[in-house]
Chains A and B, each alone.
Chain A
Amino acid sequence: RKEVEQDPGPFNVPEGATVAFNCTYSNSASQSFFWYRQDCRKEPKLLMSVYSSGNEDGRFTAQLNRASQYISLLIRDSKLSDSATYLCVVNGDTGRRALTFGSGTRLQVQP
């Protein structure tokens, strides 16, 4: 089983739509969770951290379900500029100071 699993998509949605991505992780001891955004042929950039109680940043909402070991990202009122690949990120192994990245979910927002 992969440490972090995501549906690769693509998710094709119209502008203004609400879209949600899920991600599952295998290590129940994981403590840190993030969503990164990666544009085509660019480096990943931090979108938001994910906190146990859930958190919101504008149109973006992240949730963590420790019991089921999954993380979600909700995007409301999608914009064309939201088109990108969204990477789910977990610190899968506390023995090393590195994060484990999912393969990403591609979102295409259409006019």
Chain B
Amino acid sequence: SQTIHQWPATLVQPVGSPLSLECTVEGTSNPNLYWYRQAAGRGLQLLFYSVGIGQISSEVPQNLSASRPQDRQFILSSKKLLLSDSGFYLCAWSWGGSGNTIYFGEGSWLTVV
């Protein structure tokens, strides 16, 4: 069966500090990978998605970036965090093709102070 792991689960970072969130998927190959963000009381916002190694599509201009160094690894980064970057970050995967079910990791709570 397929599993998705995301870490760290919780972090508190000062403004201007860097960020790295990591996500790995097991039990499948060549998945579509996604990073979503959910601000407090808000809906899910798609940040990045990837259909293959090194292929990243950005949905929203921001100070975040994503990388996919390996088939089942997806990393979300920032060089300098802003207060507005606080939120619940969710990594997710789906099988290839459009409109397939998305499966989420357990999420990472980021508080920028």
Contact B97 A103 (CB under 8 A): no
Contact A94 B104 (CB under 8 A): no
Interface positions, chain A 24-53, Cβ under 8 Å from B, are: 30-32, 34, 41-46, 49
Q: How far is the CA of A102 from the CA of B94 in the complex (A)?
A: 18
Q: How far is the CA of A70 from the CA of B80 in the complex (A)?
A: 41
Q: On chain A, which size bracket covers the interface?
A: 20 to 34
Contact B103 A46 (CB under 8 A): yes
Partner of B99, one of A44, A87, A94: A94
Q: On chain B, which size bracket covers the interface?
A: 20 to 34
Contact B46 A44 (CB under 8 A): no
Q: How far is the CA of A43 from the CA of B23 in the complex (A)?
A: 14
Q: Chain B's nearest CB lies how many Å from the CB of A74?
A: 21
Q: Considering only CB atoms, which chain A residue lies closest to B42 in the complex?
A: A103
Interface string of B19-53 (1 = CB under 8 A from A): 00000000000001010100000111010010100
Contact B46 A98 (CB under 8 A): yes
Contact B90 A43 (CB under 8 A): yes
Contact B104 A44 (CB under 8 A): yes
Assuming the contacts A32-B99, A42-B107, A49-B101, asked whether A98 and B49 have C-beta atoms less than 8 A apart, the reply is yes
A99 located at the interface, meaning its Cβ lies under 8 Å from any Cβ of chain B in the complex: yes
B57 located at the interface, meaning its Cβ lies under 8 Å from any Cβ of chain A in the complex: yes
Contact B44 A96 (CB under 8 A): no
B15 located at the interface, meaning its Cβ lies under 8 Å from any Cβ of chain A in the complex: no
